[in-house]
Amino acid sequence: MARGTSRCTGSSLDSSLVWEGSWRPERDPVGSIIPPIYLSAIYKYPDEDKAVKPVVGDLKYSRENNPTVLLLEESYSCLEGGKWALAFNSGMAALASVMLAHVTPKSRVTIARLVYGATRSLLASLWKRIRFDYNVSGPPWEDLLDAAEYSDIILVETIANPTLRIPPLHELLKACRDTCRVIVDNTFASPILFRPLEMGAWLVVESSTKYLSGHNDVAGGLVAGQDMDDYKRIWEWRRLLGTAQQPLDAYLVLRGLKTLHLRVERASRSALEIAKWLERHPKVSKVYYPGLPSHPDHDYAKKLFNGIYGGVVTFELSNGDPIRFLSRLRIIAPAPSLGGGETLATLPYYSSHRGLPEEEKARLGITPRLVRLSIGLESVEDLINDLNEALRHG
Ligand SMILES: Cc1ncc(COP(=O)(O)O)c(C=O)c1O
């Protein structure tokens, strides 16, 4: 399929759309139901002309393009409703390539205060080099909406770690109109909850290390968009930096996409049940989950998402030692990351957000007793029992 011309006709976000977006057995000389993994690093020029006139997107060298990676890109662009997608070897590689492709000394870039720590560090490091106009803004979300007045690029996350705040995307995109371009990191939501390009976002970025691949066995990143000039610019930076996804890894992400809708739905339903249970527990002082009416962005989440709210739940222990709590867990593993089949627990104060100044952590509600859970695919009863035992002895 030529990029820029969508072949996706399916409407539901299930495996038929992923299937249709990428592989068909008719494409293969032996009718393979599963796409092959093309390990070849180099490809023969289709004709001699191409040896002297290479074209962006031609197959010739795996750092530039690879057939397995292209299949993943077709599938993901279908899932996000984009015209193109590019696959990277991590979420950070995707974000770095996008930023290097677009940020110049004249840029006016705003990021939401709650974005992933490494994303914040990436922008801060870039700013030290090229001194563009750089701002960190919101929550409160009014501040982020004001940023539409003075920014030309705004980066937000659909659900922001660790308190799972949801920026007012409708209002932000309306405020931006033609004057600023909005990049949405959709990692915590995945296209199953929400598709930012449909609403007018400029680019959607995801760490495919998380829900998209879904098995905690591969690192990756994906970017999708609508405009082919953006595609060419980001593709060129991916080529120069060597940040393209490798074929075996691309295959694993592609395989993960086929079960994405099942996994996200199951994790979201378990997460809601666990969040409600935690809210009633005497040793828990606060629960953050967008599916709970007590969450500050619940009403907006109801409007934005299609009835499910993702697999991440964050809560605060009312007392006790959070490290001892983690050590008492038997099924849930204390480990970073999210979106896989295994339920994981982290302490954001000591891990993802440890680099923030104390007053910033306090302002964002990131206390030492905050625990973030990424709910996996285990039985919800087993997970609740595990949490109960750890809370009892923690
Ligand atoms: C929201 C978000 N964006 C981007 C990233 C970076 O992705 P990766 O770890 O695949 O580089 C992460 C990693 O946790 C993340 O949580």
- Which of 209, 211, 252, 374 is the pocket-test mutation for ligand 1 (most atoms within 8 Å of CB)? 209
For the Cβ of 207 lying below 6 angstroms from any atom of ligand 1, the answer is yes
pLDDT tens, residue by residue, 346-358: 999 999 888 888 9
What is the pTM (predicted TM-score) of this model? 0.94
Each residue's pLDDT tens digit, 107-158:
999 999 989 989 999 999 999 999 999 999 989 999 999 999 999 999 999 9
Q: Extract the tokens encoding 34.
A: 């599963």
How confident is the model at residue 320, as a pLDDT? 86
Cis peptide before 139 (omega within 30 of 0): yes
Ligand 1 centre to CA of 145 (Å) is 24
3-state secondary structure 192-214: HHCCHHHHCCCEEEEECCCCCCC
pLDDT at 3: 47
Residues 148-193 pLDDT 10s: 999 999 999 999 999 999 999 999 999 998 899 999 999 999 999 9
91 lines ligand 1 (CB under 6 A): yes
CB 225 within 8 A of CB 73: no
Q: Are 308 and 268 in contact (CB under 8 A)?
A: yes
Q: Which pLDDT band, with edges at 50, 70 and 90, does 260 fall under? A: very high
Is the minimum distance from the CB of 74 to ligand 1 under 6 angstroms?
no
Instruction: List the one residue out of 330, 335, 331 whose CA is nearest residue 371.
Output: 335
pLDDT given for residue 291 in this prediction: 98
Residue 218: count other Cβ atoms within 10 Å of its Cβ. Answer: 22
CA distances from 353 to 33, 125, 263 (A): 44, 17, 27
pLDDT tier at 324, thresholds 50, 70, 90: very high
So what's the pLDDT on residue 8? 58
Band the pLDDT of 266: cuts 50, 70, 90.
very high
Q: Which domains does the chain have, with CATH numbers?
A: 15-258 (3.40.640.10), 260-393 (3.90.1150.10)
Cβ pair 43, 55 in contact under 8 A:
no
Residue 1's pLDDT band (boundaries 50, 70, 90)?
A: very low
Active site residues: 63, 116, 185, 210
Pocket lining: 90 vs ligand 1, CB cutoff 6 Å: yes
CA separation for the pair 204, 191 (Å, rounded) = 10
What angle, 0 to 180 degrees and rounded to 10, lies between the N-to-C axes of helices 260-280 and 247-258?
70
